[in-house]
Structure 1
């Protein structure tokens, strides 16, 4: 018996794809893991956010916050190159392709949905 052509297809995965740096150990410093340039050699921009108390929240609340962050980053998926959330320090580091205002736009979208999130000073590389 074959599957009906009208059977619903499972939704595509919304999980972040594995990093190209997946072979690195999780305790390696960010400066070893964060890309400074995209595939074309252009410099990337970065921003950091802190989520006070995220580590102490119960598992369900942590997962809810992580889903929100994931959804926002996926919305800007063509711009986001790298994202790392360190649960020990409650720190989110995101590297993006440069676009004026984007280092404020993405954090604002996250802050709208996660009010306790705080934007640290954007980080520009020379």
Structure 2
């Protein structure tokens, strides 16, 4: 289904983002209250995941070259229809991840209490 050589190109970035996500989760569990720095770090990690996912889905070499013709033969579709369905599924997953990350980022900033500067005379 997937081209393993192409997937291995993304492996270091995936490991880096998993590591950042674990560090961020550890920081969130230590702090009772979200801080601005924590919310910004959460935004950066979420943006990085979305960017990586978009790059991966946009790569034409992601799938094995025989996968789309096999799907087309199995379900009696034309090759262009099978390819369009695969792209639709991929970009639907990206859209779901984007919406989830936007909600997570918004929640992080809304849980963050900003310090207000006092007026001095």
TM-score > 0.5, shorter chain as reference: no
* Rg larger for: 2
> Which structure is richer in relative contact order (CA contacts within 8 A, separation 6 or more)?
2
Select the structure that is richer in helix: 2
Select the structure that is richer in strand: 1
Q: TM-score, normalised by structure 2?
A: 0.28
